[in-house]
């Protein structure tokens, strides 16, 4: 699958509190409403200015902090097609795959705010059309690729009746 969209750039250490603030705890059972606040404490205007299909691009340790699956869920629900970062926190990474939000680990210094990207999810290669550079991302471990390809963990278990990782 090829994804195309524009880049919204964030820094290092974007925590799950920045993505999905604790003060909206009461909206956790109302995901469309919660999604209106996605990344609000990192960029208060993000949800209103982004377009469906755009990319979130960040630095080190994206998604550190709590285990709230609501964080990757509302990024996806807001219409972001993939998150690119230099590195991801562990629980966030696993959650994102489980909810079917593609993540790419790559050298994001070569991407700037507003750049147009074209991403081939099958190969993990990223084309920065604005800067005319090609980037490669670290491939997903096979177990996680299987889950992502099935459409997330729920769909994976529904399809196989069990974990089927190799």
Partner 1 sequence: MAKTLAEKILSAKSGQDAKAGDIVIAQVDVAAFQDGTGPLGVRQLQKMNLEQVKARYSIFFIDHAAPSPRKELSNDHILLRTFAEKTGAILSEVGEGVIHQRLVEAYAKPGDVLIGGDSHSCTSGALGAFATGMGSTDVAIGMALGKTWFKIPETYRINVKNSFKPGVFSKDLILYIIGTLGADGATYKALEFDGEAIDRMSMESRFVLSNMAVEAGAKTGLIASDEVTREYLKKRGREKDWTALSPDDGASYERVVDIDAADLVPQIAFPHTVDNTRTVDQAQDIKIDQAFIGTCTNGRIEDLQIAAKILKGKKVAKKTRLIVCPASRDVYLDAMENGLLEVFVRAGGIIMGPGCGPCVGVHEGVLGDKEVCLSTANRNFKGRMGNPEGYVYLASPATVAYSALKGTISDPREVLGKE
Half-sphere exposure of 86 (CA within 13 A, CB side): 15
Indicate the pairing of strand 2-9 with strand 55-57: parallel
Residue 35 CA to residue 109 CA, distance in Å, equals 27
| Residue 69 in contact with partner 1, rule: CB under 8 A | yes
Smallest gap from Cβ 34 to partner 1, in A, equals: 11
Smallest gap from Cβ 4 to partner 1, in A, equals: 28
The torsion of the CA quartet 139, 74, 48, 32, rounded to 10 degrees, works out to 150
The binder of partner 1 chosen from 94, 116, 124, 150 (CB under 8 A): 94
Q: Cβ contacts of residue 59 below 8 Å, gap of 6+? A: 10, 11, 12, 13, 85, 86, 108
Nearer to partner 1, 13 or 125 (CB): 13
| Residue 25 in contact with partner 1, rule: CB under 8 A | yes
Phi, psi dihedrals of residue 94, rounded to the nearest 5°: -65, -40
Nearer to partner 1, 129 or 159 (CB): 159
| Residue 11 in contact with partner 1, rule: CB under 8 A | no
Containing 57, the helix (H) or strand (E) segment is strand 55-57
Q: How many residues bind partner 1 (CB under 8 A)?
A: 44
What number of other Cβ atoms are within 10 A of residue 144's Cβ?
A: 18
The binder of partner 1 chosen from 21, 111, 117, 148 (CB under 8 A): 21
| Residue 149 in contact with partner 1, rule: CB under 8 A | no
Binding site for partner 1 (CB under 8 A): 13, 15, 17-18, 21-23, 25-30, 41, 60-61, 64-70, 72-73, 87, 89-91, 94-95, 98-99, 141, 143, 152-154, 157-158, 162-163, 165-166
């Amino acid at each position: 699958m090829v994804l195309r969209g524009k880049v919204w750039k964030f820094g290092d250490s974007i925590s799950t509190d920045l993505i999905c603030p604790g003060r909206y705890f009461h909206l956790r059972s109302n995901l469309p409403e919660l999604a209106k606040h996605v990344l609000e404490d990192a960029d208060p205007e993000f949800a209103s200015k982004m377009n469906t299909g755009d990319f979130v691009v960040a630095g080190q340790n994206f998604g550190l902090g709590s285990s709230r699956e609501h964080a990757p869920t509302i990024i996806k629900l807001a219409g972001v097609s993939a998150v690119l970062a230099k590195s991801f926190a562990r629980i966030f990474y696993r959650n994102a795959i489980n909810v079917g939000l593609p993540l790419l680990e790559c050298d994001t210094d070569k991407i700037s705010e507003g750049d147009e990207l074209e991403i081939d999810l099958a190969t993990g290669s990223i084309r920065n059309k604005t800067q005319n550079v090609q980037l490669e991302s670290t491939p997903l471990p096979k177990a996680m690729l299987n889950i992502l390809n099935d459409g997330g963990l729920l769909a994976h278990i529904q399809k196989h009746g069990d974990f089927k990782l190799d």
